[in-house]
Amino acid sequence: MVYFIATPIGNLGEITFRAVETLKNVQAVFCEDTRHSQILLNAYGIAKPTYSYHKFNEKKSLDFVLSFCKNGQDIAVISDAGMPCINDPGNILINALKQDGYSYTVISGASAFVNAFVLSGYQPPFTYYGFLPDKKSDRDKLLDGAVGVGIFYLSVHDIKENMSYLLGRLGDRECCLVKELTKSHERVRFCKLSDVIEDDKGEFVLVVNRQTQENPLCALTVEEHIAYYINGGMSKNEAVKAVAKDRNVSKNEIYKLTLNDR
């Protein structure tokens, strides 16, 4: 059996009893960073062989990991913090396990984006996006049709640029910015995407609320709304995107409405 085990995202005490017992009973533990994970294992008196398993070697290490399964041994896969496969290695291994018919399961626990969403107080549904891609075209494709609550991971080096991009893409929405989750100095800040965040370290979870303020242009018909932007110099495609953002619906939905009106 392969156990994908959630580990604490901040406070070492936030690990389940089942997770600790499972880590004590497996034959080996595969970690993103063995030195980092050893702190957790030592805290709970867990002495097991550890092996490096991270995004740069997960494909190359696949046969080695599967060799434990072939020998009938139980192993654990853990991330530095949070749930494996959520912006962390694990997906490639799970697909290999599915293909080869090996048993696997998940040991529940912490996930930063879930904690941040709860702290925000916003209403579901929500979409988890993780870290934004580097290329603008990839970002635009990822966010095409984004209308509800969105959850993003941001590094301190990218926070200003990422929030500026989201401002231009989604409008100046209310958001909840969280860092140091579950630690004694956990910080939760409610702000707008237009706010400039001054911080010098750490990673953040940004929960962006759906657009709550009614745009006066939405009182127009869809055709009139599109015409307003075209008359202002936009192409039809740009106007459709702008209308979709104003009305908090997908671009495809606006296209459908224009076709129905013909």
Per-residue model confidence as pLDDT tens digits over 106-121: 999 989 999 999 999 9
Domain with CATH 3.40.1010.10 in the chain: 2-110
CATH class held by domain 2-110: alpha beta
- The answer to whether residue 81 scores a pLDDT higher than 80 is yes
For residue 48, pLDDT over 90 is answered with yes
CA distances from 40 to 2, 15, 45, 82, 90 (A): 19, 10, 9, 13, 19
Predicted local confidence at residue 243, as pLDDT: 84
Q: CA 31 to CA 50: how far, in whole Å?
A: 7
**Pick the residue with more confidence: 258 or 86?**
86
Q: Which residues of 234-254 are buried (b: 16+ CB within 10 A; e: fewer)?
A: beeeebbbbbbbbbbbebebb
Residues of the chain with CATH 3.30.950.10: 113-208
Distance CA 165, CA 68 (A): 45
- Lowest mean pLDDT segment, chosen from 69-73, 145-149, 256-260: 256-260
At 71 the pLDDT is: 95
The string of pLDDT tens digits covering residues 3-42 is: 999 999 989 999 999 999 999 999 999 999 999 999 999 9
Q: Sheet of 126-131: strands edge to edge?
A: 126-131, 149-155, 203-208, 174-179, 187-192
Between the CA of residue 30 and those of 52, 84, 104, what are the distances in Å?
6, 11, 14
Average pLDDT value over all residues in the chain: 90
User: Where residue 128 falls among pLDDT bands split at 50, 70, 90?
Assistant: very high
Among 22, 195, 227, residue whose Cα is nearest residue 108: 22
Residue 150 has pLDDT above 80, yes or no: yes
Residue 213 has pLDDT above 60, yes or no: no
Q: Give me 166's structure tokens.
A: 């989201």
Q: Is 76 helix (H, G, I), strand (E, B) or coil?
A: strand
Taking only the tens place, the pLDDT of each residue in 181-195 is 998 889 999 999 999
Would you give the distance in Å from CA 175 to the centre of its chain? Answer: 15
Query: Residue 76: pLDDT band by 50, 70, 90 thresholds?
Result: very high
pLDDT over 70 at 212, yes or no: no
pLDDT at 170 over 90: no
Q: With respect to CATH, is domain 113-208 assigned 3.20.20.70?
A: no
pTM for the full predicted model = 0.77
Q: Contacts by 160-165 with C-beta closer than 8 Å and gap 24+?
A: 160/196, 160/197, 162/132, 162/206, 163/193, 163/195, 163/197, 163/206, 165/132, 165/136, 165/139
Check whether 246 has a pLDDT greater than 90.
Answer: no
What pLDDT shows up at residue 113? Answer: 95
